[in-house]
Structure 1
Amino acid sequence: MDMVVRTDAEAVGLSSQRLGRIDGWMDRLVEEGKLAGLSVTVARRGGVAYRRSAGLADQARGTAMAEDTIVRIYSMTKPLTSLAILMLYEEGRFQLDDPITRFLPCFRDQRVMAGGARGRVETVPAVRDISFRDLLTHTSGLTYGFMESTLVDALYRSEGVDFQTSDATLGEVVERAARLPLLAQPGTAWNYSIATDVLGHLVAVISGRPFEDFLQERVLRPLGMADTGFQVPPEKLPRFAANYARGPDGRPALIDDPATSRFIQPGRICSGGGGLCSTAGDYLRFCRLMLNKGELDGTRLLGRKTVELMTANHLGGDMAAMGQPRFSESSYEGIGFGLGFSVMLDPARAQVLGTPGEYAWGGAASTAFWIDPAEEMAVILLTQLMPSSTYPIRRELRVLTYQAIID
């Protein structure tokens, strides 16, 4: 549980009256049956100016959504995995432009899709190997099977390249992916993918320790993220939220009961791309670490220059200029990508309130966070509704938080 001090909103340049607009928005989402429950945290200049929960974490059991509710954060795992691999980068273990074949020879001699029809994929040789930077920026040519929009996506499904449900090991699923064609030449197109799962495996290979052990010992425990992990233990089950999808009547329909969820099963594959569960308080500790340029409460995980590199745009422009939008936890116009985060380039092009240099990501169950260094602000939205594109709640909350700035 995060012990950061709750602060008077006006003392940190926010209007408590304007922040109160978030109350009505949250209550409407619950009353209209769009979400079972949600929580919002707004932190600025070292204090929490707004923290509120509404609705239910578990409708069947009548459990209220609370500050310490544990949720599936899915792709909000990715920034933590990126942090872990960059800790090894700081130890001099590799360079960003190094080929990953240095550590994963299974990715040698890759082929790239050049066309195809009737289930046959035509390929050409990869011009170069995938680099660490390609993985961190989602420009590796890898994909996701659930996209269901290319022949390569279909191959991922048929060959069992799935880090969420597979019974295989992390390394075995990575090797399956390495045998399949890439969607694009490495470094040429932005495509959301399993790249961060491959990074998790690289953490294990380079450090010589299981990925989950490295993350626990080097990241989660030092940060005091005591409720964050790949498995929800039995004693924390009463705090574990149910997961929902929009039902035929428009109301939340149960898709994952906490009592039978795979997130409570031991031995599950530890997905660096989407396997963690966490709480608002825990994730706020990560956000504060990033706002503090790699240090929190006397514990430094990254150097300031590494955080600055991590949160800079590494694309040639915005995501829209780097390929055909298919799916991600972000819009594409006016948004770039760093080493594990989307990066705001131009709020006018993105058509939403924000600040150039603000960085963010979200998860498949409609969770989201963003960190704004210029405004010294972090916002966390937790709920459990799949898919994340069901309602535009992230953009709505951006407006509600930024309109409250009064200094």
Structure 2
Amino acid sequence: MDFTRVDPSAAAMSEGRLKGIGEHLERSYVEPGKIAGCLTAVLRSDQLAYLHIAGQRDRERELPMTDDTVFRIYSMTKPIVSIALMTLWERGLFSLNDPVHRFIPQWKGLQVREGGSYPEFQTRTPHRPMRIRDLLTHQSGLTYDFMQSTEIDRAYRKLKVARPVQGYTLEDMIEQLATLPLEFSPGDRWNYSVATDVVGYLVERISGQTLPDYLHSTIFDPLGMCDTSFSPRDDQLHRFASCYTRDGQKRLVLQDDAQSSQYIGRSFYSGGGGLVSTAADYLRFCQMLLGRGAFNGQRIISRKTLDLMTANHLPEKADLASVAMAGFTETDHEGVGFGLGFASKIDPVVNGYPATQGSFYWGGMASTLFWIDPIEDLAVVFMTQLIPSSTFNFRGQLEALVYAALD
């Protein structure tokens, strides 16, 4: 992505109104020290309409935010890995309704918790086995350790399920999960979870390659995403951002130092949240999505498969508000559906924000986000490094600001 060619008029957007995006972010977040820095890019009709860079990528070393800053994208990994699995589906190597235990035999006979706590659970047999579709749609019965709401997520914390400690692998996670019951019968509810980490494991089992190798050969290399990987390379460390959180007094404090990061030399290839990337790289991924699966002559996935992935797969076309089990996700619940790795806007009026019906998106724990609006031929990428993503409503504010700038 050439960040030197910014042309709002070629994208039929108001330059004056676009400037309001950066003014708002600097005035409300960067200058008061609520975030260290941020980068916002708006793409429309294959034109870079807006680019705003503010603040610092590393406060401790007083390093500025730059257009080639490397960010932890956390759950913005999920759409990439979901696309990867579906490229294998396009080759006829599995069915969405295949039981997961076809590829993970030790999961055959997984039970559902009825009572008790780890390690003494009372369980029952689920209504049906977990399907691959359930993993992609977060209807698998799995959970996350940080949900802080059930005995199952408490067990995840005790066992450190999917925690990227040195030497931990996808195989370790699979073996741990084989010993634990599910939160609910697959297909009954929606619950944000380690399901996409399991999707990454399936990519390995079905393709015969490691997840990093498959992502590079199938997505990153064809799209020219040269800065995206599971660990920053040595030559990237000088532009790797530090990550921050807020203390009890709402002061910004260091959460993960760029130069001694937990991301350096990782062995756990988290399909749910492990990638680092740049805004330019992620915009290339977005351009592929806007191109209905193709970009720069490289077809990653078919347009019909992408249509299937971005459709609402929730039962009876419900929104998340009616089927989600836990409160936390990377999206609002009202007026939002969920497909195979993406949230989708199914009712902007109920949702309360202006992205077009049929737009699709996700975000990451460090407050990064993106969305794709096929009707408006629009893609937006926002990068910062603040945990958790629920701290500020960046998505809602950016939706209002970006759509106000359409001519």
Whether these two folds match at TM > 0.5 is yes
Q: Which amino acid aligns with 2:242?
A: A
Does residue 293 of structure 2 align to residue 301 of structure 1? Answer: no
Which residue number corresponds to residue 26 of structure 2?
A: 27
**Cα shift readout 1:315-374 (whole Å, capped 9, x = no counterpart):** 121011113342110110100001101000111111112111000100000000000001
**Cα shift readout 1:218-258 (whole Å, capped 9, x = no counterpart):** 11111110000001011111100000001344232111111
Kept after mapping to 1: 8 A contact 2:10/2:47: no
Which residue number corresponds to residue 399 of structure 1?
A: 400
Instruction: Give distance in 1, aligned partners of 2:259 and 2:329.
Output: 29
Instruction: Give distance in 1, aligned partners of 2:118 and 2:258.
Output: 41
Kept after mapping to 1: 8 A contact 2:11/2:48: no
Which residue number corresponds to residue 212 of structure 1?
A: 212
Instruction: Give distance in 2, aligned partners of 1:148 and 1:298.
Output: 46
Which residue number corresponds to residue 164 of structure 2?
A: 164
Which residue number corresponds to residue 133 of structure 1?
A: 133
Q: Which amino acid aligns with 1:16?
A: E
Q: Which amino acid aligns with 2:339?
A: G
Kept after mapping to 2: 8 A contact 1:4/1:47: no
Q: Which amino acid aligns with 2:299?
A: R
Instruction: Give distance in 1, aligned partners of 2:249 and 2:115.
Output: 41
Does residue 69 of structure 2 align to residue 63 of structure 1? Answer: no
Instruction: Give distance in 1, aligned partners of 2:165 and 2:20.
Output: 39
Stretch of structure 1 that moved more, 6-15 or 140-149: 6-15
TM-score by length of 2: 0.96
Which residue number corresponds to residue 152 of structure 1?
A: 152
- State the secondary structure of the residue aligned to 1:140: coil
Does residue 290 of structure 2 align to residue 291 of structure 1? Answer: yes
Instruction: Give distance in 2, aligned partners of 1:164 and 1:297.
Output: 35
Kept after mapping to 2: 8 A contact 1:5/1:48: no
Deviation at 1:63, TM superposition (A): 0.9
Percent of aligned pairs sharing the same letter: 46
Q: Which amino acid aligns with 2:10?
A: A
List runs of 5+ in structure 1 lacking aligned partners. none
Instruction: Give distance in 1, aligned partners of 2:118 and 2:158.
Output: 15
Deviation at 1:10, TM superposition (A): 2.5
Instruction: Give distance in 1, aligned partners of 2:55 and 2:141.
Output: 41
List runs of 5+ in structure 2 lacking aligned partners. none
Does residue 250 of structure 2 align to residue 250 of structure 1? Answer: yes
Which residue number corresponds to residue 366 of structure 2?
A: 365
Kept after mapping to 2: 8 A contact 1:37/1:65: yes
Which residue number corresponds to residue 14 of structure 1?
A: 13
Stretch of structure 1 that moved more, 109-118 or 366-375: 109-118
Stretch of structure 1 that moved more, 384-393 or 156-165: 156-165
Instruction: Give distance in 2, aligned partners of 1:221 and 1:146.
Output: 33
Stretch of structure 1 that moved more, 172-181 or 103-112: 172-181
Aligned length: 404
Instruction: Give distance in 2, aligned partners of 1:186 and 1:166.
Output: 31
Deviation at 1:160, TM superposition (A): 2.7
**Cα shift readout 1:84-143 (whole Å, capped 9, x = no counterpart):** 000000000011111111111111001112234798533211222111110000000000
Deviation at 1:268, TM superposition (A): 2.3
Deviation at 1:188, TM superposition (A): 1.0
Instruction: Give distance in 2, aligned partners of 1:39 and 1:55.
Output: 9
Does residue 281 of structure 2 align to residue 282 of structure 1? Answer: yes
Instruction: Give distance in 1, aligned partners of 2:71 and 2:141.
Output: 30
Deviation at 1:163, TM superposition (A): 4.1
Which residue number corresponds to residue 89 of structure 2?
A: 89
Instruction: Give distance in 2, aligned partners of 1:67 and 1:8.
Output: 17
